[in-house]
Amino acid sequence: MSRKIFSVFGLLIVASMVLAACGGGTPAAGTERIVETVIVEVPVAGDAAPLPPPAGYGATLAAVQARGVLICGVNSQVPGFGYIDADGNFSGIDVDYCRALAAAIFGDSTKVEFRPVTAAERFTALQSGEIDVLSRNTTWSTVRDTELGGNFTATTFYDGQGMMVRAGEGITTLADLAGGTICVQTGTTTELNLADVMAAAGIAYTPAVFEDADSTFAAYAEERCDAVTTDKSGLVSRRTVLEDPSAHVILDVTMSKEPLGPMVRHGDDQWFDIAQWTVFALISAEEFGVTSANVDAAKANPSNPEVARLLGNEGDLGLKLGLSNDWAYNIIAQVGNYEEVYNRSLGPDTPTYIPRGLNSLYTEGGLLYAPPFR
């Protein structure tokens, strides 16, 4: 008898939990909606402006500012570029770009929310407005710049596709891989380049295609494949974390050009400018020797007029971008210049060391070249 009562009340508990939790869902959803309405109103305000700029102009910045936090799509699996450490913090050069952008907008580099996105979903995430900017070692290409609904802003890292093999197996050229198996990640330009290059060279091979970088390299580490291919930077950083890095060599072939950089949505030129000039501010700061350590001194006593304009002492470049005038100062003070960002994630002191190479300033034989600040 008592057992029956217990069971009936057990049923009641279940039912009440169900009902209670139904009500429970609402507060969270309600607060969510408040944020949403703010976002909706923005384009309306833009339309009402006397001389209407193109639809969507300024909408992203307004939405970000209303939200109070920048949402940045990043990688969570590539050491040196975008990666979660054991404490649960994001780090890497792509991640630091997001911090720089947050510093430019809010004057606070911590006001950024990182969204790990997979290679497959990144463009949709950008298109649908789930993320404000995509900074996830993404290669600049025609289709992505047009059909996939985004615009690349600038190159933050010049890369090229490479091939890593195990040392001591007599593989020195791509032709030695004939009949072999090559690990590659899906949804990437890498996958297409591999097919292109091997077809052009007439080399037969078997691809082993994986959903994410971890699986790809795990399979390579287990000798599922003879070789693994991705951007050379990725190979370098991944090689450092293999069991015995010296047992792997990166072939001296460059299979493609891979300019990596942040990408924004089509249709908001102001946001594009902000994202682009954040990169340029980082590069220029290195060119002018302004670092996070000496930025206060440089602002107090600018070495030349362009530094003064960069740091907001002269002119109103920041206001023209729709930001505060000390936007670049905030970037440098809180995140550093390009060199600092680079060295923090890819410098000689890190396990993922990659020599600067093409990613040096143009004055040092590299490709980094920022337009003038004026």
- Please give the residues from 120 up to 149 whose contact with other proteins meets the rule CB under 8 A: 120-121, 123-125, 127-130, 143, 146-149
For other proteins, the binding residue among 145, 160, 203, 215 (CB under 8 A) is: 215
Relative to beta strand 157-166, strand 227-231 is antiparallel
Q: Parallel, antiparallel, or unpaired: how do β-strands 181-185 and 227-231 relate?
A: parallel
Residue placing its CB nearer to other proteins in the complex, 95 or 290: 95
Task: Write the DSSP symbol of residue 88.
Answer: S
Residue 356 C-beta: closest distance to other proteins, Å: 22
Contacting range for other proteins; rule: CB under 8 A; set: 10-18, 310-318, 324-332, 354-362? 10-18
Partners of 70 in the beta sheet?
A: 112
Sheet holding 150-152: strands in order across?
A: 112-116, 70-74, 133-134, 263-265, 150-152
CB of residue 107 vs other proteins: minimum separation in angstroms? Answer: 15
CA–CA separation, 100 vs 79, rounded Å? 19
Q: Which region, judged by CB under 8 A, interacts with other proteins, from 39-47, 134-142, 286-294, 322-330?
A: 39-47
- First CA to last CA distance, the chain: 86
> Closer to other proteins at the Cβ: 16 or 301?
16
Given 53, 65, 107, 118, the residue binding other proteins (CB under 8 A): 118
Closest CA relative to residue 326, chosen from 306, 310, 305: 310
Residue 349 binds other proteins, judged by CB under 8 A: no
In this structure, are residues 115 and 132 in contact, taking their beta carbons and an 8 Å threshold?
no
Considering the complex, state which of residue 181 and residue 324 has its C-beta at the smaller distance from other proteins.
181
Q: Per rule CB under 8 A, is residue 110 in the interface with other proteins?
A: no
Return the number of the residue (121 or 364) whose C-beta is nearest other proteins. Answer: 121
Residues touching other proteins, count (CB under 8 A): 103
Strands in 82-84's sheet, in edge-to-edge order, are 77-78, 82-84, 90-91
Between 86 and 300, CB nearer to other proteins:
86
